[in-house]
């Protein structure tokens, strides 16, 4: 196959208008390279729209091309940057960790890589970087340099910045096989800018205020460990414990340490409310979304938030709150990264209803049993830290149930119910022994405090050798959730210490 080696953009001035811009400058990280001839030549390249670029067909347009078994051809539309936000083209050819300052950035070593080429058969799909008069592109320098790319967007000014990094292939750090992060200190770079992209008119732009791509489930609201422990105290009849979801709520509007149930006005009250929420509930403040398909959102803790309890299901709480959206807002600097975004306050209040789950799990507690295996009697065993011995290994568990977190040969932990309910339970929930740690609730209670650290990493809570009894902990988890119900059972029938 033969290709025309003529530069394919020779007539680009007849096609491209809004994107005819040149490099806007260079900054050399190594002082001795300030007058680098190659850098000056690369500065002469023009960052432009590929005149052969076409718009992508929508899914509906693709479907319409195939009608009643007859394939029709729809003439493609010319690619027009005024129909696109610059943030649609923010890519880095090397890994850059996600951040709020670059919410749409994607690490992709292929998107910009072919912008170095001259000819149409291997050019970048949308953009070019050429000096037509000098028959020059980055490919003319690739024997000497490795190229890396990082693009930035300003969606309020309709600008796309392309930073092209040059790495000398003979550089000492390259020869020593150092990482990109270590080698970057010796890179040179040239910056280019393209204007004319679609842009927002301001913070209240109707399009900017849309939240169609916001998924509130990604905050993963649930009760915190602190709240679970408060419920456990209630279950064990310890002073200060909680016994219902209502105990989380400031129903009388006078307890700052609980969840607010009315819209607060003062900044001080709002600040205190968020401190309480962070203690009582577990959640991700940000939706942790970066990339092209969805916007990056975060809960706006400068604005009011309050909760309502469902009248028909006490396990359900509805949170009323506000969010902010991160929008790329790069500002040019020849000495720093162009990583800047603007936080846009969404005017519409959001609603999120979530199941606290705790009492859904608790309803099974009465049916959780522990039986003593007939082939391992305990009536000749005085209970102690290592007797019975808790086995963390998953080997040799045949004949035992609910052993994911370990087991005792002497006991069997199970849900005492019908086969149908047990099957349904196993599909949705997980029952297992709860292994204590030095930071959990049991270390704060009256379970042998003087030796509490000795019991860590086992379900053992308390030993009553004179009575031949011991207490153990178990947990019920809903699969796919981080909420667990903690229960305590007492085993009697051990040999009493005389």
Residues 289 and 261 in one domain: yes
Same domain, 346 and 372: no
Contact, 79 vs 50, CB < 8 A? Answer: yes
Q: Please, which contacts does 248-255 make with residues 24 or more away whose CB atoms are closer than 8 Å?
A: 248/223, 248/280, 248/317, 248/356, 249/307, 249/309
Domain span holding position 163? 12-195
Crossing angle for the helix pair 267-280 and 225-235, nearest 10 degrees?
70
Kindly state whether residue 318 falls inside one of the protein's structural domains: yes
258 and 291 fall within a common domain: yes
pLDDT at 199: 94
- Claim to verify: residue 125 and residue 81 sit in the same structural domain: yes
User: Domain total for the chain?
Assistant: 3
Q: Do 129 and 158 lie in a common domain?
A: yes
* Statement to judge: residues 31 and 131 lie in one domain: yes
- Residue where a domain terminates, one of 339, 356, 373: 356
* Cβ pair 489, 413 in contact under 8 A: no
Q: How big is the chain, counted in residues?
A: 498
Each of the 498 residues of the chain gets a pLDDT tens digit; together they read 333 434 444 334 334 444 444 445 444 444 444 567 888 899 999 999 999 889 886 655 555 555 555 555 567 789 999 999 999 999 999 988 778 888 889 989 899 999 999 887 788 899 999 999 999 999 999 999 999 999 999 999 999 999 999 999 999 999 999 999 899 999 999 999 999 999 999 888 999 999 998 888 888 888 888 898 889 888 888 888 899 999 999 987 667 789 999 998 899 999 999 999 999 998 988 876 666 767 889 999 999 999 999 988 888 999 999 999 999 999 887 767 788 899 999 999 999 998 888 888 999 998 999 999 888 889 989 998 889 999 988 777 888 889 999 999 999 999 999 999 999 999 999 999 998 775 566 655 555 544 455 667 889 888 889 999 999 999 999 998 878 898 988 899 999 988
Structural domain contains residue 27: yes
Q: What is the pLDDT of residue 375?
A: 82
User: CA-based Rg of the chain, rounded to a whole angstrom?
Assistant: 32
* CB atoms inside a 10 Å sphere around CB 324: 20
3 assigned to some structural domain = no
Peptide bond between residue 388 and the one before it cis (omega within 30 degrees of 0): yes
Looking at the fold, whether 331 and 247 belong to one and the same domain comes out as yes
Looking at the structure, do residues 329 and 378 belong to the same domain, yes or no?
A: no
């Amino acid at each position: 196959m033969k290709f025309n080696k003529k530069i394919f953009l020779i007539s680009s001035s007849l096609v491209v208008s809004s994107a005819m811009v040149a490099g806007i400058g260079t900054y050399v990280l190594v002082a001795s390279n300030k007058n680098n001839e190659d850098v000056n030549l690369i500065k002469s390249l023009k960052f432009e729209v590929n005149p052969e670029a076409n718009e992508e067909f929508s899914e509906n347009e693709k479907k319409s091309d195939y009608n009643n078994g007859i394939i029709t051809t729809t003439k493609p539309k010319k690619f027009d940057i005024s129909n696109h936000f610059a943030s649609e083209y923010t890519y880095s050819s090397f890994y850059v960790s996600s951040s709020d300052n670059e919410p749409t950035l994607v690490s992709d070593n292929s998107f910009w890589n072919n912008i170095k080429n001259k000819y149409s058969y291997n050019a970048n799909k949308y953009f070019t970087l050429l000096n037509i008069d000098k028959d020059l592109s980055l490919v003319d320098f690739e024997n000497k340099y490795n190229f890396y790319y990082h693009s930035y967007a300003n969606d309020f000014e309709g600008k796309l910045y392309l930073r092209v990094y040059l790495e000398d292939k003979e550089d000492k750090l390259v020869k020593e096989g150092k990482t990109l992060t270590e080698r970057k200190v010796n890179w040179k770079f040239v910056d280019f800018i393209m204007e004319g992209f679609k842009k927002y008119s301001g913070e209240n732009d109707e399009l900017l205020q849309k939240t169609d791509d916001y998924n509130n489930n990604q905050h993963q609201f649930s009760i915190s460990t602190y709240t679970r422990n408060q419920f456990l105290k209630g279950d064990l009849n310890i002073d200060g414990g909680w016994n219902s979801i209502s105990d989380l709520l400031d129903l009388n509007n006078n307890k700052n340490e609980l969840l607010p149930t009315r819209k607060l006005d003062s900044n001080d009250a709002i600040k205190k409310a968020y401190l309480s929420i962070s203690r009582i509930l577990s959640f991700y403040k940000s939706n942790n979304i970066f990339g092209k398909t969805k916007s990056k959102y975060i809960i706006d803790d400068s604005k009011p938030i309050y909760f309502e309890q469902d009248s028909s299901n006490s396990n359900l709480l509805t949170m009323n709150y506000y969010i902010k959206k991160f929008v790329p807002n790069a500002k040019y600097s020849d000495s720093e990264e162009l990583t800047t975004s603007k936080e846009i306050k969404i005017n519409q209040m959001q609603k999120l209803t979530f199941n606290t789950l705790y009492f859904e799990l608790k309803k099974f507690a009465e049916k959780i049993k522990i039986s003593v295996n007939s082939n391992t009697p305990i009536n000749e065993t005085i209970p102690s830290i290592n007797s019975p011995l808790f086995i963390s290994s998953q080997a040799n568990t045949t004949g035992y149930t609910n052993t994911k977190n370990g087991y005792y040969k002497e006991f069997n932990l199970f849900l005492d119910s019908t086969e149908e309910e047990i099957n349904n339970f196993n599909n949705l929930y997980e029952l297992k022994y709860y292994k204590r740690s030095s930071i959990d609730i049991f270390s704060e209670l009256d379970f042998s405090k003087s030796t509490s650290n000795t019991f860590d990493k086992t379900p053992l809570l308390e030993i009553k050798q004179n009575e031949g009894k011991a207490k153990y902990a178990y947990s019920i988890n809903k699969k796919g959730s981080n909420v667990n119900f903690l229960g305590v059972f007492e085993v009697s029938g051990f040999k009493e210490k005389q």
